[in-house]
């Protein structure tokens, strides 16, 4: 290297977006659990959103009522002769869209309030904590039940908003305690001394250290939302499009129609239940493998 080398402008290239995503995904995908979790989750999302678009709406078929599994309907048919398999393939959209929206909102609010409360302290911290403690004391599902009888929860946005506003406190608390400890780190103190500003410190210094933690909590917010949502739907508290039923509604209908008691219609209940269960399983497996990949202490091998 010559002493007077002027820096050529082309030598430095920021890694492209694909490279960064791949670098983040690689440790997860390398392990079988992570691979399964990621692929399963993506598959579910694709089916849930593309299903209603690709697969045509099933029509009532009086010839095929309450039939067991057959070639035309591999999982049997409902009271209306509709194929259970098709209903399930088309029934994930509402659930997934509301759950993803809720999860996103919960995580955003929880992270924003938690990190600001921890970093700024003082009165802001006190207000946020009081609000959180208040909300945490309320039994969520009971409140939702009560509210649902008063408000019409047919729009996904208000529903998500409602669910998120009841779920953010516990995430906020865990984020807050994490940030409280990160705040004491030497490199944060250095950032303060360098006058980098609160916004920079929270977004560029603190949150990146919690990235995997935030993603995992996002996933758990989604699973929580799925449970709450199905509970509400099952209780009939959420207006549902009967022609395009979602999984919760399928279960509810199947139940009302005594589907469990007949061998032929067993899958009417089982299929949506298993769909929900598998989705949850894929999500949780993905979350755990992210935790595994990013927590060096959990890595085996000394």
Q: Which residues contact 233 (CB under 8 A, 6 or more apart)?
A: 240, 246, 248, 249, 252
Nearer to another protein, 149 or 300 (CB): 300
Note whether 23 binds another protein by CB under 8 A: no
For residue 136, which of 104, 85, 171, 91 has the smallest C-alpha distance? 171
Which residue, chain included where needed, has tokens 């977006």? Answer: 17
Note whether 126 binds another protein by CB under 8 A: no
Note whether 197 binds another protein by CB under 8 A: yes
The binder of another protein chosen from 33, 157, 194, 277 (CB under 8 A): 194
Write out the DSSP string of 209-260.
GGHHHHHHHHHHHHHHHHHHHHHHHHTT-S---TTS--HHHHHHHHHHTTGG
Dihedral, CA atoms, 28, 33, 35, 39, nearest 10 degrees? -120
The binder of another protein chosen from 17, 149, 186, 263 (CB under 8 A): 186
Note whether 181 binds another protein by CB under 8 A: no
Note whether 274 binds another protein by CB under 8 A: no
The binder of another protein chosen from 9, 62, 149, 181 (CB under 8 A): 9
Question: Shortest Cβ distance from residue 5 to another protein (Å)?
Answer: 9
Q: Which residues within the stretch 200-229 sit at the binding site for another protein (CB under 8 A)?
A: 200, 204-205, 208-209, 211
For residue 90, which of 241, 260, 256, 282 has the smallest C-alpha distance? 241
Note whether 16 binds another protein by CB under 8 A: no
Note whether 120 binds another protein by CB under 8 A: no
Note whether 187 binds another protein by CB under 8 A: yes
**C-alpha span between 249 and 238 (Å, rounded):** 9
Note whether 1 binds another protein by CB under 8 A: yes
Query: Total number of residues binding another protein (CB under 8 A)?
Result: 25
To the nearest 5 percent, what fractions of the chain are helix, strand and coil? 75, 0, 25
Contact residues: another protein, CB under 8 A: 1, 7, 9, 12, 185-187, 189-197, 200, 204-205, 208-209, 211, 299, 301-302
């Amino acid at each position: 290297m010559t002493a007077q080398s002027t820096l050529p402008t082309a030598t430095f290239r920021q890694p492209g977006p694909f490279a960064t995503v791949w670098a983040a995904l690689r440790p997860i995908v390398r392990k079988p659990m992570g691979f399964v979790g990621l692929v399963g989750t993506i598959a579910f999302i694709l089916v849930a959103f593309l299903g209603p678009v690709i697969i045509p709406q099933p029509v009532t078929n009086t010839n095929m009522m309450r039939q067991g599994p057959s070639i035309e309907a591999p999982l049997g048919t409902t009271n209306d002769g509709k194929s259970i398999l098709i209903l399930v393939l088309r029934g994930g959209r509402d659930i997934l869209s509301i759950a993803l929206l809720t999860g996103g909102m919960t995580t955003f609010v929880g992270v924003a309030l938690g990190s600001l409360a921890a970093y700024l302290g003082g009165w802001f911290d006190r207000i946020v904590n009081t609000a959180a403690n208040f909300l945490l004391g309320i039994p969520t599902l009971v409140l939702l039940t009560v509210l649902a009888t008063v408000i019409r929860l047919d729009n996904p946005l208000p529903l998500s908003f409602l669910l998120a506003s009841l779920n953010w406190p516990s995430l906020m608390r865990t984020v807050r305690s994490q940030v409280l400890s990160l705040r004491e780190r030497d490199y944060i103190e250095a950032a303060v001394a360098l006058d980098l500003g609160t916004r920079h410190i929270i977004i560029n210094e603190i949150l990146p250290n919690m990235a995997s933690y935030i993603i995992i909590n996002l996933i758990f917010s989604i699973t929580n939302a799925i449970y709450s949502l199905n509970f509400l739907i099952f209780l009939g508290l959420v207006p549902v499009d009967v022609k395009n039923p979602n999984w919760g509604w399928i279960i509810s209908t199947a139940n009302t129609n005594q589907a469990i008691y007949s061998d032929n219609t067993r899958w009417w209940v089982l299929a949506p239940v298993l769909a929900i269960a598998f989705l949850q399983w894929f999500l949780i497996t993905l979350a755990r493998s992210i935790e595994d990949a990013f927590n060096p202490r959990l890595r085996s091998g000394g």
